[in-house]
Amino acid sequence: MIRQYELVERVRAYDPAVDEDLLNRAYVFAMKAHGTQTRASGDPYFAHPIEVAGILTGMKLDGASIVTALLHDVVEDTGTPLTEIERLFGPEVARLVDGVTKLSRIEFQNDQAKQAENFRKLVLAMSDDIRVLLVKLADRLHNMRTLHFLKNPEKRRRIARETLEIYAPLAERVGTHRMKDELEDLAFGELHPDARDSILSRLGYLRREGGSIVDRVIVELRRVLEEGGLPDVHITGREKSPYSIWNKMQRKDVAFEQLSDIMAFRVVVGDIGQCYQALGLFHSRYPVVPGRFKDYISTPKPNGYRSLHTGVIGPERQRIEIQIRTPDMHEVAELGVAAHWSYKQGAPRAPDGRQFRWLRELLDILEHAQRPEEFLEHTKLELYQDQVFCFTPKGDLIALPRGATPVDFAYAVHSQVGDTTVGAKINGRMMPLRSQLQNGDQVEIVTSKAQTPSPEWERFVATGKARARIRRFVRTQQRAQYVNLGRAMLEKVWRQEGYDFAEKALDGVARSFQSQSAEDVLAAVGAVTFSPREVFHAVFPGHRPPPTPANELKVVPLAPRAKGKGRKESGVPIRGLIPGMAVHYAGCCHPLPGDRIVGIITTGKGVTIHTIDCETLESFNDTPERWIDLSWEAGQETPDNHVGRISVVIANEPGSLGSLSTIIGKNGGNISNLKITHRSADFFEMLLDIDVKDVKHLTNIIAALRASPVINSVDRARGR
């Protein structure tokens, strides 16, 4: 564990003007606050914030960040109020501590929702000050270094998966490659220990067989540069990390033996001109591997990374990767955002805001995602980083993930451009919107004010921002359909009851339906959250009591009848019932006048009427004494409606629900209930309860629906 004076000396080594008193007070305060708390390893808990602070000193962060690292768990784990932190250490430290503090005290339904909500708040916090993210990354790195002390294997795997999916890509986005590599390797070892051990053993074998091949390659590369007039260079060589090797094996579907660029060499030269001079010397001396040259100096990565990358068949016929950069570029490559902090004037200087375009994209996704889990899904799309670089007609550079399309490009330019996209020219040629972009493509987006996002786009877009915007539009469009459907359903009920529908009548009852406005009530009715009858009786409570649902108990009147006949309260004659017997219709098959029916006697409940082909009847095969042969009275009119249930598959397009309700209404039916059982980009599957007179009436409605182009299929629902 780093001692107090050692920590102060580490910071003073790169920032002589640091407030030593602040560091000392924070060290002592955190030690006392955590007291006798211990970690899973058995070490004092205080060792954790000390190690986090030590990691940040290696990144040369400012004093406020180091103090934040020392205090980052005090508020959560010791009950110290944030106001006390602000009083003792100032508002800047308090704000950073508040941003980094874990949010585990908030209760959520599941781990994914908790993870998503925590990450959402981390994004908001680091949008105000990127140092929040740097402290959080250091916190996660030390937790990963000690992950093996946790006894619960499932918890270890969950933390490792979260590290690989969220924190390692975030470390890459702020350019801290050294931290990213270690996070990936630690998570890889937990999630795929056998694969990591296998790769390490193969690397060890190559080292034993090749001896000092890395040293020999470095000597040869240095000789080439010296002969070309570049004597003052610094060259290092290393093997790629096990996770990087495994990832490439998975991505390219190749075996370890088929990888030929396992070694990477970094060449640090004096200035940008020497970078290109060194590149020319290597390309003139060794065969170039096609497709492996990348110029990140003229087109830097979004995180500020700059370097020349090339692949060659180098010394001893080894296929190697060479990275050429200046000392400043190398510092940024190693430390990322942290390399931009300067202490020459005694005050840190934040990096250029252009580096944080990716963060603005995350905030845009946050604005348009409906649920935390959806935000997390889109964010993962945004963070994964195999990139292509494309240009606008004016020459502006747009960085996108590999597999991106013109729609992704349009949304990267501006959300409004994406929403109104109708076509795209790639390198001067009109191309389909689903075309995948390649490095160096020039893309011109064709727009129209009349265009809106298409749900089909979600199938092929590759960026989280594009997907979030498309989904938001689909949700808005779906709400409009629900509002229209709800209005149509309410207008029909009002008309049936002899009233003229007025939307303002819903304002007075909106609160009783947990709604904010009349439009919310209409949408809720259209989505079948409430039935139109419920809303009607809320507006007109004195009109008359709601009609009894068809599947509830009804008592047969005791009026004199011929023996062997019963009559439902509505007056629908049923042959075979005993007068006075309680009757209700089964909700599994919804029998209608005209169906072949049978009764099942239930003690204390009377008779339940089923259709003769109802699957539920199989459960009564062993009790034939409970069966009663029934039939509808022939030639009798049905004075009241009955409930018929149908299963519908409808196209997911504007106006579909309106067409559905219109067809049912025109054919004398009334939708009393609707449930969406499955939805996709193209179709909705739903169950509808319709008030009809008899089975013939329902059959006519089904036939009319089948004739509609928006209806994919419709059948009478059984056993649901």
pLDDT of residue 563: 34
* pLDDT confidence tier of residue 198, bands split at 50, 70 and 90: confident
Least confident of 240-249, 458-467, 483-492, 575-584: 575-584
C-alpha distances out from residue 240 to 260, 322, 518, Å = 11, 12, 62
Q: Within a 10 A sphere around the Cβ of 536, how many other Cβ atoms?
A: 21
Q: Residue 649 corresponds to which amino acid?
A: V
C-alpha distances out from residue 217 to 97, 203, 316, Å = 47, 17, 8
E strand intervals along 331-413: 387-391, 397-401
Question: Residue 124 half-sphere exposure, CB side, CA atoms within 13 Å?
Answer: 13
pLDDT of residue 535: 85
Task: Check: CB of residue 119 under 8 Å from CB of residue 153.
Answer: no
- 674, two tokens: 């609707």
pLDDT of residue 717: 85
Query: Residue 275: is its pLDDT beyond 90?
Result: yes
- 532, two tokens: 């139109």
Q: Is 194 a catalytic residue?
A: no
Query: Residue 529: is its pLDDT beyond 70?
Result: yes
Structural domains in the chain plus CATH codes: 4-195 (1.10.3210.10), 203-340 (3.30.460.10), 355-464 (3.10.20.30), 473-539 (no CATH), 554-632 (no CATH), 642-716 (3.30.70.260)
More confident residue, 563 or 658: 658
Choose among 169, 142, 186, 172: nearest CA to 336: 172
pLDDT digits (tens, 9 = 90+) for 358-400: 555 555 555 555 555 544 544 444 454 556 778 888 877 777 8
Catalytic residue, chosen from 19, 20, 77, 181, is 77
pLDDT digits (tens, 9 = 90+) for 661-681: 888 888 888 998 888 888 877
pLDDT of residue 454: 85
- 102, two tokens: 């874990």
pLDDT of residue 338: 55
* Residues contacting residue 258 through CB under 8 Å, at least 6 positions apart: none
**Alpha helices for 240-325 (secondary structure H):** 242-252, 272-285
- What three-state secondary structure class fits 592? coil
Choose among 591, 609, 592: nearest CA to 600: 609
Choose among 569, 611, 618: nearest CA to 594: 611
Query: Residue 489: is its pLDDT beyond 80?
Result: yes
Catalytic residue, chosen from 43, 76, 98, 334, is 76
Query: Residue 560: is its pLDDT beyond 60?
Result: no
Q: Is 51 a catalytic residue?
A: no
pLDDT digits (tens, 9 = 90+) for 44-60: 888 899 999 999 888 88
Write down the mean pLDDT value for the chain.
Answer: 78
Q: For residue 583, what is the enclosing H or E element? A: strand 582-585
* pLDDT confidence tier of residue 636, bands split at 50, 70 and 90: low
pTM of the model: 0.52
pLDDT of residue 381: 43
Query: Residue 234: is its pLDDT beyond 80?
Result: yes
pLDDT digits (tens, 9 = 90+) for 439-475: 778 899 999 888 888 888 888 888 878 888 888 887 7
DSSP 458: G
- What three-state secondary structure class fits 282? helix
